[in-house]
Homo-oligomer: A and B are copies of this chain.
Amino acid sequence: MVLEGRLEDSGSQSIHYGSNVSSHNPCYFSSYGDLKVHELMLKDKVRTEFYKNVIFSNKEIFQDKIVMDVGTGTGILSIFCAQAGAKKVYAIERSEIAKLAADIVKENNLTDVIEVIQEQVENVVLPCKVDVLISEWMGFYLLHEGMLDSIIAARDTHLKEGGKMFPYKCIIYSAPCQLPGYFQLWDDFQGVKMSTLGQALRKGCQGEPQITRIASSDLLSDGKEVAILDLYRTTCDELNKISVRQFVAVSKRGDYQGICLWFTVEFPSAEGKENMVLSTSPMSPKTHWKQTVIVLPVHVEVEENDPVAWELVLERNSMNHRMYNIHLTMLDPETETHPMPCDCSFMKCKVIKAFLAQQGSEEDTMEEIIDCTTTDDND
């Protein structure tokens, strides 16, 4: 039995250590937990090394440029930019961690390049516009935490015409998945029937999306695009509600138990180089973002090529603008109107897709087809 509460509330510790304890007592954080979150993110090797690589591989973009790092945290991205040759880096951080960032900048002898500004980015005033806007603002399923609004605000106020955004393009994906080890294992657990527990756990999952890791072998289709955001153009209003209806053909036999969400972010590149993409997909190396799963209340056995369909709505929480509610509605692919073109395995959709592929997908051909099929769909 472990306790229900958090250890910090209870199992306190004190150490007596004579005169060796440092008297230096900077207040870097409102709680130790905040600092541990930064430690977790830094130690996410995929994340930290990706940013390091994308900056160092594109030094031409940073060389002698003015950079803004939004939500700098411990300051590491600002330091990478300075190391890559930036002339000036404005490192913006509203929390007390800014003081730690400033000390780390000092430790790296970069005070003449990096200016840490403890302020919300919306209130920051700079003497000039910046060439590059960099940030690691992504939350679970990309949008959780709603920090993207601050990036958009920073872009509109501070980014030069033609300046670069790191990252500049985001795609949210979804796919049906199975969840072995979530519920069925309780049907016979160490020789005890605990299906009741499995059902209770599943019921508990209905209230909140699960942040968990999905094996790529548990995906039941490729990822379908929920949203593509071009950060050079996206507005905050567009983020209020993202809604999509998705139809897929299941790629293999399995237990359809949830919808798995993940995201990718793409970074600009210097002339002649390929853009680099950071992916949080189940097929990619593990990150602290894991995947986000909306668990279905019942599981559905599916066969290869079965069509499945759902509507997914990501909508801002009316009480807290930075938070999202996720609504999933299961659709019956038999009765719903499919999009055009559609990836599912229904004969009609397959025929249309094949036809489009033959014709090339010029827009007028496309519209012609829609004209002659929409009546069909309502039969």
Chain A contacts to B: CB under 8 angstroms: 1-4, 7-18, 20-22, 24-26, 28-29, 32-42, 48-49, 52, 71, 73-74, 76, 79-80, 83, 100, 103-104, 107-108, 135-141, 144-145, 147, 189-197, 199-201, 203-209, 211, 288-289, 292, 294, 296-298, 317, 320, 322-330
Contact = CB atoms under 8 A, between A and B. Distances in A.
Contacts of A17: 296-298, 329-330
A189 B42 contact: yes
Which 3 pairs between the two chains have the least Cβ-Cβ distance? A32-B204, A10-B323, A3-B145
Contacts of A329: 15-17
Given A208-B7, A325-B12, A326-B11, A26 B200 contact: yes
Contact of A29 (B83, B141, B196, B204): B204
27 contacts: A1-B73, A1-B135, A1-B138, A3-B144, A3-B145, A8-B208, A9-B323, A10-B322, A10-B324, A11-B144, A11-B292, A11-B324, A12-B325, A13-B206, A15-B296, A15-B330, A17-B297, A22-B298, A25-B203, A32-B204, A42-B197, A48-B190, A52-B190, A76-B189, A100-B197, A104-B192, A104-B197
A196 to B, nearest CB: 4
Given A13-B294, A29-B204, A1 B41 contact: yes
Interface SS majority for chain A:
mixed
Nearest to A24: B199
Contacts of A211: 7
B192 A20 contact: no
A192 B298 contact: no
A35 B221 CA distance: 31
Nearest to A26: B200
A210 B175 CA distance: 38
Nearest to A95: B4
Nearest to A332: B18
B144 A207 contact: no
A47 to B, nearest CB: 10
A147 B1 contact: yes
A288 B2 contact: yes
Contacts of A35: 197, 200-201, 204
A1 B137 contact: yes
A317 B13 contact: no
Contacts of A4: 33-34, 37
